[in-house]
């Protein structure tokens, strides 16, 4: 009789496991089917995505190379212009004593002094007339 009760309990447990297991197995089957469709879609689109990434990478590499070449040419031009400017400034230091000795500049400096003196003279002359007339 103990064996009979044990078998009935075992059959009851198996029925409960089957009742619980069937929905779980159906759910797993649906998930597997959805994963299969997702994997198929991914396999179809992945080559296009990879191709786009390769094109973007190639364009980025090309742009980087072009930018690097432009920067190197600008750096070369900058170095050359820096040398040219330093030469010009150095040579201006040598030319400034010669420019100061040129008679035209002395004449110009003296002319400016004469014009200033004449203007002061006229200013004093005109102020004097205004003071005596007022």
Q: Please say whether the beta carbons of 104 and 98 come within 8 A.
A: no
pTM of the entire structure?
A: 0.43
| Residues in the chain where the model's pLDDT stays below 70 | 1, 98-102, 129-134
Determine the Cα–Cα distance for residues 59 and 87; give it in Å rounded to an integer: 42
- Rounded to whole angstroms, what are the CA distances from 26 to 15, 16, 55? 17, 16, 44
Torsion sign, CA atoms 78, 84, 86, 92: negative
Q: How confident is the model at residue 100, as a pLDDT?
A: 66
Query: How big, in percent rounded to 5, are the helix, strand and coil portions of the chain?
Result: 95, 0, 5
């Amino acid at each position: 009789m103990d064996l009979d009760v044990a078998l009935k309990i075992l059959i009851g447990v198996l029925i409960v496991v089957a009742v619980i297991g069937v929905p779980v197995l159906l759910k797993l089957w649906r998930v597997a089917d959805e994963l299969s469709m997702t994997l198929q879609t991914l396999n179809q689109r992945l080559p296009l995505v990879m191709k786009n990434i390769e094109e973007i990478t190639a364009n980025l590499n090309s742009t980087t190379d072009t930018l690097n070449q432009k920067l190197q040419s600008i750096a070369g031009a900058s170095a050359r212009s820096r040398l040219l400017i330093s030469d010009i400034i150095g040579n201006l230091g040598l030319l400034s004593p010669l420019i100061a000795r040129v008679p035209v500049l002395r004449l110009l400096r003296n002319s400016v002094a004469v014009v200033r003196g004449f203007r002061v003279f006229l200013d004093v002359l005109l102020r004097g007339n205004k003071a005596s007339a007022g």
